[in-house]
Amino acid sequence: MQSLLAANINPRTGLATDYLNHFNEAIMLLEMIPDMPECVEDFLDWQPRTYREHFQASNLKAQGLIIQAYEEAETALRVEFDRVIGAMTEILIAVSAAMRETTRDNTRAILAEQTTGWIKPLLSLAGGLIHGSPDQADIDRIMEK
């Protein structure tokens, strides 16, 4: 349990919040586009990565533990998490394609603003899945200590 916490893995869910930084990067770039249209190139360079790909490419010492904990996470939780991540990824890929199709800064700014409005709630949902919600058994176990 201590090694999970040290690796920033929620021991209840087996998921690590560090993965969401990958999507926070895309959001940050999108938020910059309306004021700095040249940032569109940085956004277009952003590439989606799965949970495993993200951590395999990281320099984290605990990358093996992080991936193992994900693979051992409750199946229903992992499926729902992957579904939310998949939705974010699909949106970002579609918006990237749309931004490649247009050269108008105004259109790109509108796309960027709309996309952050779609992605942020999904990112919050993914964060909620990572953090989990305590159930009564967890509360009882904590109270016994």
Whole-number average pLDDT of the chain: 89
Please give the pLDDT value at position 6. 65
Tell me the per-residue pLDDT of 58-85, one tens digit each, with 9 for 90 and over. 988 889 999 999 999 999 999 999 999 9
Q: What percent of the chain is modeled with pLDDT above 90?
A: 78
Angle at 86 between CA 132 and CA 103, to 5 degrees: 130
Please give the pLDDT value at position 1. 57
Considering only residues 122 and 139, tell me which one the structure prediction assigns the higher pLDDT: 122
Count other Cβ atoms within 10 Å, centred on residue 59: 5
**Cα diameter, the chain:** 62
